[in-house]
Amino acid sequence: MAFSFEIPKPDDIKNALVSARNKITGSGGVFSGDEKTGRFSGRGINGFYTVGDSSVKITVTQKPALYPASTVKSAVADYFRGYR
């Protein structure tokens, strides 16, 4: 089941997305996109993102059944914040 959430837009969205790309692709995932929109997948998680004026909307379209949505949301949000 797909779900969406928003995080505050990082001050330096370009670097946050570079960090997300490096971490996702570094663990065998796929990341494509820019400072406006893009897609990501890895470890059974697929989704896309859209960058707005003050937030990043992230939609997870697929996740492993073993992980609750809250766990996936937390991990994906950290990637886009540049934390992981």
Domains within the chain, CATH numbers bracketed: 3-81 (3.30.310.50)
DSSP state of 63: -
Structure confidence by residue, pLDDT tens digits, 12-53:
999 999 999 999 999 999 999 999 999 999 999 999 999 999
- DSSP string spanning 11-51? TTHHHHHHHHHHHHHHTT-EEEE-SSEEEEEETTEEEEEEE
What pTM does this model have? 0.93
Q: What percent of the chain has pLDDT over 70?
A: 98
